[in-house]
Chain A
Amino acid sequence: MHSLAQSRSTTQQRRHQIGICAVPLLVLVVVLALAQSDEESFLKQREEMVRTQLAGQGWATEAVHDARVLDAFREVPRHRFVPVVLVRQAYEDHPLPIGYGQTISQPYIVAKMTELVAPSKDQRALEVGTGSGYQAAVLSRLVAEVYTIEIIEPLGVAARDRLAALGYRNVSVRVGDGYFGWKEKAPFDCIVVTAAANHIPPPLIEQLKPGGRMVIPVGNPFQTQQLVLVTKGNKGPHDLRVQEIMPVMFVPLVGRSSGQ
């Protein structure tokens, strides 16, 4: 009798325990399911972003052609690089504020800059201005090693943690002044400067490999008016070529004026 009662009570206890465990388990399942559906939704948004904003040629913008670059954009979860309150806007066609007067550039600009430096798997890339870490994450899918420097400490530390948490193992983040580049890891095959500057830092030119490419935006955090692409030749330190690239095609507008 005693043992029966004991066994009943044990069964009840077990049921109770199972019940106690079941609630959080259920919550976990629901959360996971929601997260899964969220992730699926983000995946769709990412695909849509690549299809409409990057790969599709707009009325006045030239499409991003490099399939590897487009794949990298399909892979990198942009919504993990924006402030929590802006997650819903992560895949929209505009820049987003990340604090300290900085932004995460709009997808098209990040993609165009990435495509311009023509990254490949065996290369080493330097990024000046880590910001949220998004550009570095994209680059990490395309090159062997990414070295990125952020001047604003809180942004740099947050980006380092974020990139580590997301498993981007080939990205090294340093907090400091990007003006002097990353001498110990130089030279670089490609350099991406993400913030506009009044001049191109000479140390960065030095740390660019012959044949290397560097891209710099011109404008303010919300308006990239022009991209400057510097290509270094093999004929010495001054064998440099600067190409001024407009993210928007100006030609249709001036075509008529020159009679062309």
Chain B
Amino acid sequence: MKCRAAVIFLVSAAVVAEEVVLVRAFSIGLWHHFAYMVISIALLGFGASGTLLAVLARGIGPFGARAGSEGGDASWLAASAVLFAVTLPLSFAFAQKVSFEPFRIVWERQQLLYLSCYYLVLFVPFFAAASVIGLALVTESSQSPQLYCYNLVGSAAGAALAVSLLEIAPVEHAVLGVAGLAQGAAVLALLDLVALRAAPRSRQAATVVLLAMVGLLLFYATHLPAVRISQYKGLSYALNLPGARLLATRSSAIGRVDVVASPSIRQAPGLSLATPPEAAIPPQLGLFVDAEAVGAVTAFDGDTGKLGYLDWMSTAAHQFTRPDSPHVCVLGAGGGASVLLALRHGAQRVDAVELDANVIGLLRETFRDFSGAFYDRPDVQVHLAEGRAFLEATPTQWDVIDISLVDSFAAAAVGLGAVNESYLYTREAFETYLRHLRSGGLLTVTRWVRMPPRDELKLLATAIAALEDMSLRPAERLVLVRSWATATLLVKREPFTATELTALRRWAEERLFDVAYFPGMAVGEGNRFNILPRDWYAEAVDALLAQGARRNRFFHEYPFLLQPATDDRPYFFHFFRWRTLPMMLRTARLAWIPFVEWGYLILLATLIQAALVSGLLMILPLLLLRHGTPTPPRSGPGAKSMVLAYFLALGIGYMFVEMALIQRLVFFLANPIYAVAVVLAGLLLVSGLGSGWAARLLRQGHSERWLACRAALAVAATAIVYAFGLRAALMPLLRWPLSVRMTVACAVMLPLAGMGMLFPLGLRHLGRARSELLPWAWAINGCAAVVATSLATLLALGAGLVVVLVAAAGCYLVAALVARKWAPAQQA
């Protein structure tokens, strides 16, 4: 039992760590949405292992009903553990050989083949790992609460370990660490087998397998496969340029940062066509995060006079006011273009906020001389933080708050961010920014223009909503400047003055930029230099500034979702509307391209494929079991539907709570990586403790039914309370130090310990009542968890996090209702 518990612990840790590492690898090589698409299928290995268990049950009888067959189970368990240890590094290596190019999938059938290769290659280790855990839990269902505790605590350790590994090592090395864990598990499983079977032949076989595994790991360690990066990612393109050299690479759990030198790298988004020759772009180095271009490091020798080009982009629109010695706050400082712009215009102090320590580190160390060490200047203060959280935690006010092009063009252009949450562009965020402006101060937000217009219009709608919430008239406080490539929104708390507007219009006219909106503009004035077939901006602004029915009609009829994002539904990048789908499908390939929002469609595809495969994986064990074992006479016809309802509800409910908590705590912990690590590890740990506690309570004589009902009700009640009260309760604590906030986050998860009790209690009950259904229950739970992950995101996008949590509560109520019907006679 002890050895088996250790195997479960290690396999669980390795499998979660592998999942985290794979997401990172896919984010670098492709785009992370494809990561979820591929990994969701791989995770269905959990569902598929149910089929294997059913086959085994068919061959050697139901698990819970037999005794003394541990030897046979141990062989299968050891074989699965070895398979996991061997295929984990191999699958990663093979996956880097698959030349899948997602953009070509629309018209190249062979891309589907490559995608299937990913599924196949990555499925095997997850299937093997799931078989180890499933076998252990199902064969010893009476001990399932203790074993499940090891499973969950191991998973928690895996999540924490993966994030720690990725912080210190590139993803290729992190795989090695994870493979080490898997090998540890395999060794223990082999020892367990050898201890059970005293035959010298099994000892010899185990030794051979052991040596082979060690050899494989050593070979892998000396031939680490590099992550394959799609040829259509910015980094690949840059490295094809003449004289291109990769100067530096740094890696963390947030992302991989690369710096490339080539004389052909020039970053000046939407540079004016009227840029004078003296405002030439200085030499630049390309800056890439996860292999996508996110800006540049500009050569700077301290003479801001040489940075004239910065004045010829729409991002400089706020400079027309030129307050004396302003205090400027730059959110998402990155390569530092906005910081340099502020310095060029005599900023007295610049607060540069950047989440990725590696970006700052590279500029301060490796490229210190090239970049003129501007991050170390006394008038520049660097803050390693997420932008919104930084502002929420400080009482400081600024003359300018600048949020310019914080994501790459490539990601923005294809709508890949659709399902990502961002607390930077919500209505509440805009209110925060405005509250942090000094009298006369300006908020400036720049985004890439996409045709048909969407980002800039949603920004406008968000600013209008924020101003209205603050009881300020939006019409007098907004300006939208656009070039053909970028659009900059300026917002003030006070109305723009006539002098300011005159200066702004002159500034824009010199640069051939259009002022798409300014207070008191005349018809046709916003479509003079960058001419659209129709002035969609003017039409949109008209409708958005008009309140009531007109605005609502515009929101309803526009082909993209433009309703402002809120902290409850922080999906600024979600533009997809179902209404446009028939149009996209009906027209030629060309027609739907400008409308397609890849992120959402990939999520949808992920859900559909997961649901289809899950359906199959849930039916298979049932079919096998039907033909393999006779139905016990004692069970009623509704028994199977009860099993289905209970384990489906648990699988969905758990993932819904997990996903909603991650989203809520991303904001509270102000760092997506901490949030994922703390919630994933924390929730698993708390559930694991819950499972251990259940084992203890069972030993004290409590019944499974009593425990399961109470645990399910407690989780449901907590989910409801969190749905409506968690955000409000956490908001005042945002200014507390990170360590305290992390502790609070863990405390938030404690009442959810019951989540870890329900699954093993269900298994234990089933082991007594209908042991032949144990493999099926395992398959249902595994499949439900995968389907629920995409479903939770879709639900959050469509209806918000409150609904996700309420739905989770509903799932746990269903589980409580089923548990209530468990026959007392079948208890211990």
Binding site for B on A (CB under 8 A): 58-61, 89, 92-94, 97, 99-101, 106, 108-109, 151-153, 176-177, 179, 198-200, 202, 205, 218-226, 228, 230, 237-238, 240-248, 250-251, 253-254, 256-258
Interface string of B143-182 (1 = CB under 8 A from A): 0000000000000000000000000000000000000000
A158 to chain B, nearest CB (A): 14
Per the bound structure, the CA–CA distance linking A85 and B107 in Å amounts to 14
Tell me, yes or no, whether B534 is within 8 Å of chain A by CB.
yes
A4 to chain B, nearest CB (A): 66
A-side contacts of B220, CB under 8 Å = none
Per the bound structure, the CA–CA distance linking A205 and B272 in Å amounts to 11
Question: Are B484's CB and A228's CB within 8 A?
Answer: yes
Question: Are B451's CB and A218's CB within 8 A?
Answer: yes
Interface string of B556-584 (1 = CB under 8 A from A): 01110000000000000000000010010
Closest B residue to A155 by beta carbon equals B240
- Choice from A58, A177, A220, A238 contacting B591 with Cβ under 8 Å: A58
Per the bound structure, the CA–CA distance linking A253 and B539 in Å amounts to 13
Question: Are B533's CB and A101's CB within 8 A?
Answer: no
Question: Are B559's CB and A199's CB within 8 A?
Answer: no
Question: Are B484's CB and A242's CB within 8 A?
Answer: yes
Per the bound structure, the CA–CA distance linking A217 and B437 in Å amounts to 38
Can you spell out 24 A-B residue pairs with CB atoms less than 8 angstroms apart?
A59-B586, A61-B588, A97-B101, A101-B237, A106-B589, A177-B263, A198-B268, A198-B270, A199-B268, A202-B275, A223-B103, A225-B450, A226-B451, A240-B274, A240-B512, A241-B531, A242-B273, A242-B512, A242-B530, A246-B533, A247-B590, A250-B452, A253-B580, A254-B536
B-side contacts of A242, CB under 8 Å = 273, 484, 512, 529-531
A-side contacts of B232, CB under 8 Å = 101, 220-222
A180 to chain B, nearest CB (A): 10
The 4 closest A-B pairs by CB, nearest first: A199-B271, A226-B451, A60-B591, A257-B557
A238-B274 contact, Cβ under 8 Å, with A224-B593, A244-B531, A248-B594: yes
Question: Are B591's CB and A241's CB within 8 A?
Answer: no
Per the bound structure, the CA–CA distance linking A89 and B666 in Å amounts to 46
Per DSSP, chain B at the interface is loop
Closest B residue to A257 by beta carbon equals B557
Interface 9-residue window, one of B208-216, B408-416, B656-664, B785-793: B408-416
Per the bound structure, the CA–CA distance linking A202 and B534 in Å amounts to 27
Closest A residue to B528 by beta carbon equals A241
Per the bound structure, the CA–CA distance linking A224 and B590 in Å amounts to 9
Per the bound structure, the CA–CA distance linking A63 and B594 in Å amounts to 18
Per the bound structure, the CA–CA distance linking A253 and B348 in Å amounts to 48
- Choice from B413, B530, B557 contacting A223 with Cβ under 8 Å: B413
Question: Are A253's CB and B583's CB within 8 A?
Answer: yes
Closest A residue to B543 by beta carbon equals A257
B-side contacts of A93, CB under 8 Å = 588-590
Question: Are A58's CB and B413's CB within 8 A?
Answer: no
A251 to chain B, nearest CB (A): 6
Question: Are B587's CB and A199's CB within 8 A?
Answer: no
Question: Are B533's CB and A94's CB within 8 A?
Answer: no
A-side contacts of B553, CB under 8 Å = 257
Per the bound structure, the CA–CA distance linking A223 and B242 in Å amounts to 25
Per the bound structure, the CA–CA distance linking A112 and B585 in Å amounts to 23
Question: Are B413's CB and A225's CB within 8 A?
Answer: yes
B-side contacts of A258, CB under 8 Å = 539, 542-543
B-side contacts of A89, CB under 8 Å = 107
B-side contacts of A224, CB under 8 Å = 593
Question: Are B591's CB and A100's CB within 8 A?
Answer: no
Pick the most buried of A101, A153, A199, A243: most chain B CB atoms within 10 A of its CB: A199
B-side contacts of A200, CB under 8 Å = 271, 273, 484
